[in-house]
Structure 1
Amino acid sequence: MAWTNYQLFLAALMLTTGSINTLAAKWADMFSAKGCKDTPEHKFSHPFVQAVGMFLGELCCLATFYMLLCHDRRRVEPTMNAGQSFNPLLFLPPALCDMTATCIMYVALNMTSASSFQMLRGAVIIFTGLLSVAFLGRRLVVSQWAGILITILGLVVVGLADFLSGHKDDTHKLSEVLTGDLLIIMAQVIAAVQMVLEEKFVYKHDVHPLKAVGTEGFFGFIILSLLLIPFYFIPVGSFSNNPRNVLEDTLDAFCQIGKNPMIILALLGNTVSIAFFNFAGISVTKEISATTRMVLDSLRTVVIWVVSLALGWEQFHGLQVLGFIVLLVGAALYNDLHSHLLSRIPSCAHLVRKDDAPAAERARLLDEGKVEEQS
């Protein structure tokens, strides 16, 4: 079935904004400027300030949700499902997970390349699968276990590519690259906890995804903005790249922005792109399919890699191509893309295994939420 113009627009928007999000964050890291009190010119290394900007973008999703809701209620026959009422504090735990994982990843992005950053984020499949078995009672099929094992192999290949290219990289030391890679994988453990909590709450309380993202953005923005105050006074030695060697020097960030306005352009690109990316991703799932969303999310890794090569941000390494292909196969198997493709071929449709477990699980969570609401 051919896509409509609106569906094509959504797919293009998701691919574009998803790629801009990572590229803008890396672009900000590459700027240099003098800091406060005319401190010597240094790199813009402020991962926690960047994370605040990302949560501001997520917070915009909450505003978008209420605007869409108001517009829908003006219709003669409203069609938008606003979901059940729920305690917003339910989303505080996943918001804390999101905040922690995001901050760790932005620290890691200062140490490794944008393409490796995006590829290694694929590790979330491994931990999400294992945690969903442990805490959601999900049963993974053989293809999903195979997807997890292949993803692990892909991560090893990408890590090996970073290890080999680290000897030739003038921008980052080998130890920094490997540390950055390990931090990204560590962050995916926390991101997996976030996803499991989100799935449980979103389906159990029938929460609109835009409202869920926006609520987490609200908590993340408020909490991390307040944490910037103590971070300004916590010394971390050589771990930090700011002049005062503290966990986060927010004043230095603003001074650098004032002396190099291009930095604010990169930060705005990060903030605006995350808002549109979340909106487009949710819309793609609704208008097309979750499988299409997975494919587009994998394709943005290619876009980020090609753009990084074109801009001279990194060097070509054949192992990265192999690593990406292996990760893509792992993601495809885990997300049951092979069944989706076979179902489109009439002669192979009978080979597709019918598995209604995810739908049944979501129905169970939704029923639990209704029972709790009635009691």
Structure 2
Amino acid sequence: MSTTTTSEERKTRKGFLWGLVMLVSGTLCTIITKVQYSLQSLGTEPCVINGNTTLHCYFDKPWFGVLEMKLAMACCLVFLYVRKRVEHRARPQVHADAAAVAQGGGGQERAHAVSRDGVVVVETSSSSSGPSWSTILLLIIPSMLDLLNTVFANIGLLWISSSIYQMTRGSVILFNAFFSVRFMGKRLFAYHYSSILLVIIAVGMVSFAGLSQAAMQSAAEPSAADAEKQANQILGLSFIFVAQFLCAIQIVIEEYFLTKRQVSPMLLVGIEGLWGLVFMAVLIPLLQWTPRGTSGLSKVWHEDFSDALVKISNSWPLVWTVVAYVITIGVFNLSASFVTKYLNSVVRSILDTMRTMGVWLLTLFVYYVIKWTGPNSPGEPWTVWSWLELAGFAVMVVGTLTYKKILRFPGTWLYAAEEREANLALTKSPFMASMH
């Protein structure tokens, strides 16, 4: 008995240690990206800053961020290979592991796994034989969706503050619920709809706070540049919502691979990263050759990768942010897996929520303690609209946790229909029938 207790305590300690690693690395992912966008370096592509044309420009390269992301995701395959070799040497006899199945609601948990920051659900087990070639080929579809939602989210982050970006990503629940009902045949109950309503209200509050804060700053010093910045912020919010729409489709498709084709979550992320690198090998020359545009929308179809490489070679801070981002994403992937392995998916969901608050607190730290201010600072000031953003965040947390039944609404009638269905299914099972 004492041995079992000691083993459980050790497992819990490991889980909370990995949880701390997940929280820190997950918070840093978004901030590092924002820091990259805030750094200036000498490149080959001219830009206009304060009315002057210069080659010393900001590193506003969302597609390069996709390349970093895919490289980090593909590293999951390296980790799986190394782990397999270590296990093979540790055990002379090779044992076939059970196929991994998504835990804690499948698609609902997977909503956190397919964000631009490379979150992955735990790999509960791995298949020694590996996926079939047909499965690997079919994974092209979610891989392309992941690439698209990542680049739209990256472009949105160019003009949206880190905290607003992190909170509006919660809108994926709305799209995920729709596609789960429409294509997966799932049924939503009263508490689901109540939670979705809370998320809609929260997204509206956070979006309004972000746009109002930008309008307030523009009104203080009105200029053509400020008007363009405000328009870009509206465009950025739109891109983030498009990214979450694509992410929700991806979640539904990935749930098929997780449950029907028995692909483990970490292996799925690794293969998506590998396909992403293949896509980028094709897209990089195309993005390079497309015509430059003067509007923010041109970030979708054009990016000069040679300029990005020159900028990186001319700036050690940029070099370190690239290395830090890839490492941080890799650590985040592993820690997210181990948290669910040693604890459970409920703790994972709570940590994901805490991560959003961590991002916001870190941006305030950058602004007020490090004193990195200015229009392109990754830090954020506290304004009168921050109170509305805080209230929206609180509503978002409640909506997200009640959707997953981590928190429960006071009214028991919201859960009555689900409980009736569960009792009916239990009564109709062959085992229970034989007990009567």
**What CA deviation, in whole Å up to 9, does each residue of 1:19-39 have, x standing for no partner?**
111111111000011212895
Q: CA deviation at 1:319?
A: 1.0
Mapped contact 2:398–2:407 kept (Cα < 8 A): no
Matching of residue 82 in structure 1 with residue 126 in structure 2? yes
Looking at structure 2, the residues matched to 253 and 23 of structure 1 have their Cα atoms a distance apart, in angstroms, of 19
- 1:53 partner letter: E
SS at match of 2:294: helix
**What CA deviation, in whole Å up to 9, does each residue of 1:28-53 have, x standing for no partner?**
00001121289521111110011100
Q: CA deviation at 1:235?
A: 1.6
Gap runs ≥5 in structure 2: 1-7, 47-53, 98-124, 219-224, 368-378, 426-436
Q: CA deviation at 1:354?
A: 5.5
Q: Select 2:275's aligned residue among 219, 224, 244.
A: 219
Equivalent positions of 1:97-112 (< 5 A) are 97-112=145-160
Looking at structure 1, the residues matched to 192 and 248 of structure 2 have their Cα atoms a distance apart, in angstroms, of 16
Matching of residue 318 in structure 1 with residue 402 in structure 2? no
Tell me which protein shows more helix as a share of its residues.
1
Rg (Cα) greater in structure: 2
- 1:220 partner letter: G
SS at match of 1:17: helix
Q: Which moved more, 1:231-240 or 1:196-205?
A: 231-240
Indicate the residue corresponding to 1:277 in structure 2.
332
Indicate the residue corresponding to 2:303 in structure 1.
248
Residues 93/153 of structure 1: CA separation in 2 closer, same or farther (3 Å cut): same
Mapped contact 1:124–1:192 kept (Cα < 8 A): yes
Looking at structure 1, the residues matched to 140 and 216 of structure 2 have their Cα atoms a distance apart, in angstroms, of 43
Residues 37/293 of structure 1: CA separation in 2 closer, same or farther (3 Å cut): closer
Indicate the residue corresponding to 1:162 in structure 2.
210
- 1:85 partner letter: P
Q: CA deviation at 1:168?
A: 3.3
Indicate the residue corresponding to 1:19 in structure 2.
27
Mapped contact 1:235–1:245 kept (Cα < 8 A): no
Q: Select 2:66's aligned residue among 26, 35, 51.
A: 51
Q: CA deviation at 1:298?
A: 0.8
- 2:403 partner letter: Y
Task: Give the alignment's Cα RMSD to 1 decimal.
Answer: 2.8
Residues 79/305 of structure 1: CA separation in 2 closer, same or farther (3 Å cut): farther
Q: CA deviation at 1:351?
A: 9.7
Looking at structure 2, the residues matched to 141 and 69 of structure 1 have their Cα atoms a distance apart, in angstroms, of 42
Matching of residue 41 in structure 1 with residue 56 in structure 2? yes
Indicate the residue corresponding to 1:338 in structure 2.
407
Matching of residue 126 in structure 1 with residue 170 in structure 2? no
Q: Which moved more, 1:149-158 or 1:32-41?
A: 32-41
Mapped contact 1:236–1:245 kept (Cα < 8 A): no
Q: CA deviation at 1:185?
A: 0.9
Residues 26/355 of structure 1: CA separation in 2 closer, same or farther (3 Å cut): farther
Scaled by the length of structure 2, the TM-score of the pair is 0.74
Looking at structure 2, the residues matched to 158 and 200 of structure 1 have their Cα atoms a distance apart, in angstroms, of 32
Q: Select 2:323's aligned residue among 268, 271, 290.
A: 268
Between the aligned residues of both structures, percent identity stands at 27
Gap runs ≥5 in structure 1: 343-349, 361-375
